[in-house]
A and B are shown apart, each in its own frame.
Chain A
Amino acid sequence: MTRRRILMAAIMLAFAAGCGGGPPPLNLPPHAMVLRLADVDDVPTLDPAAGYDTASWTFEQAIFDTLVRYGDGNIELEPDIATSWESSPDATTFTFHMRGDARFSDGRPVTSEDFRYGVERVLNPATRSRGMEYYRGIVGAEDFVAHRSAHLSGIETPDRTTIIFHLSAPDPIFAHKLAMPFASAIPRDVAEKWGDDFSRHVVGSGAFMLREWVSGQRLVLVRNPYYFNQPLPHLDAIVEAVGVNQELQWLRFDAGQIDAVVDIPPAEFPYVMKTPALRELTLAKTTVTTRYLGMNCQMWPFTDVRVRRAMSYAIDRHKLIAILNGRGVVARGVMPPNLPGYDPDLQGYDYDPARARALLEEAHLAHGFDFEIWLRADQTLLMLAESIQQDLAPLGIHATLKPVAWGPFLEAIRQPHTVQSYMQGWEADFPDPENFLGALLSRAQWGSNNDSFYSNPAVEALLAEAEPIADMKKRYALYDEAEKIVVADAPWVFLYYPVTYIIRQPWVHDYVINPMRPTRFEHVWLSPHPE
């Protein structure tokens, strides 16, 4: 009997001990100006070399600085740590002059060496950075990646405030690649000390610094006392609670517990739009993203351009927008609005099932056909794909959906004879048509990003001609011609450009949205509000 009693007591003690859980309290001074945010998933990483998604970039931008950056609400290049810059006429040499008063959050001054280290770190295969490809154009990159040289020969740092990049081929938009977080200034001693765990112990020269990161629970940034652009930032701290699903975010927003919701949940969206008081608090941005249904031009039945055009006429894009509660713009071509070089007069394809039928008859497929649509297993994508299934069914076209995980999806679509069609999206990395037309539709990208295995010699010629041209007007004109040919060839069904809606509390000011980057926090301020 006593043994059992001891056992019961032990069990109860263990349980009681476990009950004390919960996240530890934050010790911020009273009256601190704190921006409270929330997100569904944990931030993947804070390491600029590793991050390549919205959540990571949101915070990397706050913690680190680059040589140049975009304006708060636009995609014009502005000085960040570099006060001025120039490029050689042939666009192979770029010189940047830096300010001397920038410092890391541990007090150390930022020098040109720190930017060199940042780029070398990205190119170093041991870092496994996703930004490698953007800096391969620098002279000596090949040798450095193959471990044949210890430093990138193409980067010159004649003094602490000057840095010069030499490229092996002309690249008029190289400066934009330095505006990506990949090219942030990294303190070598801290990065080498922590190695792969640098993400958890980041030190940067940006407006904010990392205070605390409890996995799966919350991320806290506080102001960097050494930030060069005093008196910014206005905020004292930013707190992001993670693991909060969309509905819960909305409820907390409604109760005033968080200050902004970056993606209004679909269930609440109609209500928000119908309520004027709430509608006023929303901000919308048409993202520089194109969502499309890619068709494999090397596989039956999409080898025939008539079938591809028939698909374009058969799918009702307006219904897709309705399913998204209006959070999208019907796509007429490859490039989204807001991208420099966008052609607003492009005709594209209207919803015309009769014309689709006629084209199918011409292609001897009047009775329709069966095919597969591969897609990432995402709820929104599935809904859109189901709508597409509904549109195609009356024409006898039977689409089977294949939802797969991200990794296998990418693997499969890059094989030339595996995937007939796939749902995909592409977000601009930098504001230039090359980022869409060149990256997605050129012959050189077969097996990489040109997963529709499309190729047209006329387009190739235009792309080759346009790439080194620094005169923007001429450049865009050439890309426009190329786009028109692509639209006529219809390797994709151009679906839509997503529109994101953000809602913020009335006491949040200067919260500006950028078409191509996450919101920056330096200028945001809060007026006094009830807790």
Chain B
Amino acid sequence: MNIRRFVTLETVGAAMVTVLVIVAVLAPILAPHDPTIVVAPTFGDPGAPSLKFPMGTDELGRDVLSRIIFGARISLTVGVAAMAVTMTIGIAIGLCSGFFGGAVDFILMRFTDLMLSLPPLLLAMALVAVLGPSLRTIFIVIGLVSWTSIARVVRAETLAMSTRDFVVGAGALGAPSRRVIARHILPNVLPIIVVMAALRTSDTLLLDAALSFLGLGVPPPTPSWGRMIEEATIYFRTAPWLATFPGLAIFWAVLSFNLLGYGFLRRRSQ
């Protein structure tokens, strides 16, 4: 049996995502301590990694390992929810644009161009600052700023599909647009949607981490990896591990979805 055949981008990615999901779901069982309570008197003077606390303790005396584990919950929740919002908007716009063409296409594409000229992070920051940071606000805002690439890709695929014979035929037979889209176009656009979903999730995870880092993420005491890095920056000389571990966690999560998405992409183009 050749191991090489199984170690592909998407399988490694899938494995990493699975680990992430397991950690997030089983957090209360896996974490050695409650992430919000004081376990060591290291106030203002973070404790180094030790046998008792493998990732050390932070400036409020909390166990870093437990906070990393619970942080997976927030990251995954926001990442997936934001991806769902983004995909919904992007697919809706892309399908309508590609299928109906004409004026609808023109307006929607011009609107997309408008969104593209606003830097996503700045826009997300402004919206969150204005609306106040909370779990729901964050994933909706992230979803709102990330849909442009999906819209374009789906539109391109829909356009390609629309000119195919069976679709034109269905239309000529008098089938309502909704049915044509649902029956004929959507199933064929699905593969690219799956790929984009994975790739989008890695982007939303990064955007969420960036917002948390800038102080606009989910408020404390819920542990969030981005905010853990932000709190650790002032200790970068005296307690560098404090910033290292949350970053590795984000890296793991983002890389896993990138591997998954890119692996599917390559498979599809072969």
Contacts and interface: CB of A to CB of B under 8 A. Distances in A.
A and B touch in the complex (CB under 8 A): yes
B220 A402 contact: no
Contact of A386 (B44, B221, B234, B239): B221
Interface string B184-221: 00000000000000000000000000000001000111
B238 A386 contact: no
Contact of B234 (A246, A393, A408): A246
A356 B132 CA distance: 32
Majority secondary structure of chain A interface residues (helix, strand, loop or mixed)? helix
Contacts of B133: 403
A379 B220 CA distance: 11
B45 A325 contact: yes
Interface stretch (B20-28, B33-41, B92-100, B101-109): B33-41
A300 interface: no
Given A322-B41, A322-B44, A383-B60, A267 B237 contact: yes
B43 interface: yes
Contact of B44 (A325, A400, A401): A325
A404 B131 CA distance: 10
Contact of A390 (B36, B41, B230, B237): B36
A269 B44 contact: yes
Interface string A397-410: 00011111100100
Contacts of B59: 266, 323, 383
Contacts of B215: 377, 379, 403
Contact of A267 (B36, B37, B234): B234
B219 A401 contact: yes
A385 interface: yes
Nearest to A401: B219
Contacts of B231: 379, 383
Interface in B70-124: none
A382 interface: yes
A387 B38 CA distance: 9
B235 interface: yes
A323 B59 CA distance: 7
Given A377-B215, A379-B231, A386-B60, A270 B44 contact: yes
Contacts of A386: 36, 60, 220-221
A266 B44 contact: yes
Nearest to A327: B44
A239 B127 CA distance: 38
Contacts of A267: 234-239
Contacts of A383: 59-60, 231
Nearest to B38: A390
A338 interface: no
Nearest to A375: B219
Contacts of A271: 238
Contacts of B219: 400-403
Contacts of A325: 43-45
A366 B237 CA distance: 45
Interface in A403-436: 403-405, 408
B36 A319 contact: no
Contacts of A387: 60
B248 interface: no
A280 interface: no
B234 A266 contact: yes
A389 interface: yes
A348 interface: no
B129 interface: yes
A265 interface: yes
Interface residues on A, range: 20 to 34
A270 B41 CA distance: 14
A375 B164 CA distance: 59
A405 B129 contact: yes
A389 B220 CA distance: 10
Contacts of A268: 237-238
Contacts of A270: 44-45
Interface string B25-64: 0000000000011100101110000000000000110000
A387 B236 CA distance: 22
Interface string A241-282: 000001100010000000000000111111100000000000
Interface string B116-156: 00000000000001001100000000000000000000000
B212 to A, nearest CB: 12
A382 B221 CA distance: 9
A91 interface: no
B220 A322 contact: no
Contacts of B238: 267-268, 271
A389 B36 contact: yes
Nearest to B235: A267
Contacts of B220: 382, 385-386, 389, 401
A319 B45 CA distance: 13
B246 to A, nearest CB: 16
A408 B238 CA distance: 35
A383 B44 CA distance: 10
A269 B43 CA distance: 12
* Residue from B41, B44, B59, B236 whose CB has the most chain A CB atoms within 10 Å: B44
A377 B133 CA distance: 11
A268 B219 CA distance: 27
Given A266-B59, A325-B43, A382-B220, 10 more contacts: A247-B234, A265-B234, A267-B236, A268-B238, A322-B41, A379-B230, A383-B59, A390-B36, A402-B132, A403-B215
21 contacts: A266-B59, A270-B45, A319-B43, A323-B44, A325-B43, A325-B44, A385-B220, A386-B36, A386-B60, A386-B220, A387-B60, A389-B36, A389-B220, A389-B221, A393-B36, A393-B37, A401-B220, A403-B215, A404-B132, A405-B129, A408-B132
Interface of A: 246-247, 251, 265-271, 319, 322-325, 377, 379, 382-383, 385-387, 389-390, 393, 400-405, 408
Closest 10 CB pairs of A and B: A325-B44, A322-B43, A323-B43, A267-B235, A267-B238, A401-B219, A270-B45, A386-B220, A267-B234, A386-B221
Interface of B: 36-38, 41, 43-45, 59-60, 129, 132-133, 215, 219-221, 230-231, 234-239
